[in-house]
Structure 1
Amino acid sequence: MAIIENLGIEVKVLMEGIQAAEYQGGDFSETNDDFGAGTAKCHRYIESVDNAEFAIEVSATKNNPWLKTAQVKNCLNYYIDVDDHEEVEAVCLWKARMDEVLKGVREYRSNVPGLRKFRFTPVQIADDPDDAQFEEDGKHVERLGLIRVRVYRATIVRKVRAKSLRDVGDISEGSRSLYESSLKGNALSHATVLSPAVDTDETTAVIDCRWKDPEDKPLAVFYFKYRSKAALQQKMIIPRPRSPTPPPLDRGSLPRSVPNMLSGDLLGKLAFDEVRRLAQQGLPGTGGQLDNLPLTEIHRLAAATLDNLPFHEVRRLAQQAPSTNYVASNIKRDHNGALALERPRKMVKIEGGKEAIDLTED
């Protein structure tokens, strides 16, 4: 929320009638306008959308020091600057009128009040023209993509009915075209245009005021830089989207060779008793037959069982696998033909740098 608490003033940008999401951060150094430390400043980024109409809501809270005094003629003047156009609109608030929504620029045509609504338009990138056009464009590019609201204290002198309103210059009704070299890394995505005028029954009054704050020293200034979502991500104002999380591995959908590779890696790390247990599950009720099976068949049965185990069981086996494991060459048959594990041979150095097998018991 763009609010300066101690001054009791607030500004919002509404897009299609809903308050635009606001973000803090980023570099606003080029927008401070040398107003000095006496001017309170509030900086926000907002997300803009192609061709969306927007409005600016200004308000004062009941705690506003200037308006809550006994001076009933005290007022606050809000001046709206859009892109490189200053004072396209203004509004005066006082005790009986503490908020206002500005939907666009008000005008009179043949004494009939009309309204040209604010609208975001995508910035079109054009090839660089000659230097003169580039220089002219470069003078304004720093203000593009910016809504600025200046707030001044004043006292009301008189109110009169408006006959004509301020000239807003050449704010386009269409898209804005910029030269790529003049963007200067600003990640601009949108500019502001005015929609064609529509009739309105809202009447407008012009209020003559006596200013308390000098023009170059406003009470407060609100800055809203508007950018597309992609531009905000580029400037790291909002996080970039994370890569989608891959779905869980469906082992049943894999080719048979893939689970076999996974189970083979784990089987090579298991104690042989665990391998026999897994193989036994592949031959329910016929455990005695394992002794008559080749080693390769026992491994095949164990791998098949491992492939069909739930993941938590596979993980348990992996966590319990010993760090030192017997390999297939250590598995022998005893004199009765039963499978047995041969203790790994321990080699020792003897004289002359030769190696010998250590047959002593550990």
Structure 2
Amino acid sequence: MAILSTCPGLKVEIIVDGEPLPEFDDQEADQESHTKTTYIEAKTGADFVVRYTVSALFSTDDISAQICIDGDEGNHNAHESHELNNTLVHTVEGRLSKAGRRVFIQKFQFAELTIVDGNTQLINKSLVQKLASLGMVTVKIQRIANLRKVRGGPSFKEDSKVDVVPEKALKGDARSHQAKLGIPKTHSKVHWWDWDIIDEPFATFNFKYRSLDALKILQIIPRTPSPVPLEERPEDDLNLNELRQLVRNFKGRIAAAPKLKKEDGTKRDRTIDINDEDDDEDDDEVVVVQSRSRKRRCGSSNEVIMID
């Protein structure tokens, strides 16, 4: 969970399948006193939920929570001060919109980027701006005043996800995913509010989401070590299946040994044939060149070149 030392009693989490995702600190980010930046793992096709918890320490003012997904600032939630008399736990599952009198929700979902080689013609100002904020969920908490109900609400709009990304546009950045909106589904009635902002956000939480492989490339999490060969591991540490595999490996080597010896004998016979091929030609000049065999650890072989 993302927690700020300057704001005890306030935390934000990204939830998948009912569980908060593990977070890894961004060591390169400028961790300001009111900003927390972490990395999380994105799994393709997984729905995710933003959950924030606010304790009674913040009950002196009305507050708003602005949720930005890949730079899209279309998600705002307002809470009156009396709601904060007890600890408030609120979840945001997706983007709410209105069509006529009906309210719809489109759930947040991780989607893998389609990265292609070439196609530099696709790189334009719009794409560069979109990529600048791609791969991040940001939650901003700030104080507000003069809460008032309004009739309207945000109208439905199509998902603005990126279709194809040229690899050169990423400039070596290990971005792997984007957030997309799910199929619109009918939602229960909600109240739409407007308000006045008192000051700048007093808490900002950034979640950079990447694939597991991308997190390893960025060295956010350790790379998976190469497995130790069975032959180099203690026998007592091997399970039954590993012991069977070890026996099969040895049997395979034993079976292959006669074949290797036969091939080696054939090579020697060929060398003898070359040396004895033209013994009757006394007028030929014979040049012997010393050549060290790479496959042999010691000794040398004579390469015979016949010159007419």
Q: Residues 18 and 26 (structure 1 numbering): CA distance in 2 closer, same or farther, change over 3 Å?
A: same
Separation in structure 2 between the aligned mates of residue 126 and residue 204 of structure 1, nearest angstrom: 42
Residue 48 of structure 1 aligns to which amino acid in structure 2? A
What's 2:17 paired with?
16
| CA shift for structure 1 position 232 | 0.4
Amino acid at match of 1:177: V
What SS does structure 1 have at the residue aligned with 2:57?
coil
1:58 equivalenced with 2:62 (yes/no): no
Matched, 1:147 2:137: yes
Query: In 2, distance between residues paired with 1:27 and 1:190?
Result: 20
Structure 1 residue 76, shift from structure 2 partner: 1.3
Q: Is the 8 A contact 1:111 1:163 kept in 2?
A: no
Q: CA deviation at 1:99?
A: 2.6
Output the amino acid matched with 1:53.
Answer: D
Partner residue in 2 for 1:91: 77
Q: For the Cα contact (< 8 Å) 2:25–2:39, is it kept in 1? A: yes
The TM-score normalised by the length of structure 2 is 0.68
**Residue identity matched to 2:48:** F
Read off the aligned partner of 2:3 and give its amino acid letter.
I
Distance 1:130 1:235, change over 3 A: closer
Equivalent residue for 1:121? 111
- In 2, the alpha carbon distance for the partners of 1:198 and 1:166 equals 14
CA offset digits 1:235-275 (Å, max 9, x no partner): 000011122233336699558x99xxxxxxxxxxxxxxxxx
1:141-180 correspondence runs (5 A)? 141-160=131-150, 162-165=151-154, 170-172=159-161, 176-180=163-167
**1:135/1:109 Cα in 2 relative to 1: closer, same or farther (>3 Å)?**
closer
Partner of 2:4: 4
Change (3 A) 1:95 1:241: farther
1:25 — aligned with what? 26
How many Å separate the matches in 2 of 1:81 and 1:166?
A: 17
Matched, 1:242 2:225: yes
Alignment gaps of 5+ in structure 1: 259-362
Per-residue Cα deviation, 1:129-184 (whole angstroms, up to 9, x for no partner): 35573343222212110111111111243234x53226667424xx7321111112
**Residue of structure 2 in register with 1:313 after alignment:** none
CA distance, structure 2, for counterparts of residue 78 and residue 26 of structure 1: 26
For the aligned residues, what is the CA RMSD?
2.8
Q: Is the 8 A contact 2:67 2:76 kept in 1?
A: yes
Counterpart CA distance in 2 for 1:244 and 1:132 is 41
Q: Which amino acid aligns with 1:91?
A: N
What displacement does 1:89 show? Answer: 0.5
Structure with the greater alpha carbon radius of gyration = 1
Superposition deviation, residue 78 in structure 1: 0.9
Match of 2:273 in 1: none
What corresponds to 1:110 in structure 2?
100
- Determine if contact 1:40/1:221 at 8 Å carries over to the other structure: yes
Q: Which moves more between the two structures, 92-101 or 228-237?
A: 92-101
Shift in CA distance, 2/101, structure 1 to aligned 2, threshold 3 Å: same
1:49 aligns with 2:32: no
Measured against aligned partners, the alpha-carbon deviations of 1:300-341 in whole angstroms (never above 9, x if no partner) come to xxxxxxxxxxxxxxxxxxxxxxxxxxxxxxxxxxxxxxxxxx
Q: Deviations over 1:11-47 (max 9, x none)?
A: 1111132211111134335xx8xxxx6x610111000
Deviation at 1:110, TM superposition (A): 2.7
Structure 2: which amino acid aligns with 1:180? E
Q: How does 1:294-333 map to 2 (within 5 A)?
A: none
Task: Find out whether 1:76 has 2:66 as its counterpart.
Answer: no
Whether 1:205 aligns to 2:191 is yes
TM-score, normalised with respect to structure 1: 0.58
Q: What code does the residue aligned with 2:70 have?
A: D
Aligned partners of 1:124 and 1:25: how far apart in 2? 25
**How many Å apart are 1:204 and its aligned residue?**
1.8
Q: Is the 8 A contact 2:120 2:168 kept in 1?
A: no
Q: Secondary structure at the match of 1:242?
A: coil
Corresponding letter in the other structure for 2:69: V
- Residue identity in the other structure for 2:222: P
Contact 1:44 1:223 in 2 (8 A): yes
Distance 1:144 1:168 in 2: 19
Q: CA offset at residue 211 of structure 1?
A: 1.9
Partner of 1:228: 211
SS of 2:129's partner is: helix
Following the alignment from structure 1 to structure 2, what is the Cα–Cα distance between the partners of residues 119 and 95? Answer: 32
3-state DSSP of counterpart to 2:219: coil
Contact 1:148 1:223 in 2 (8 A): yes
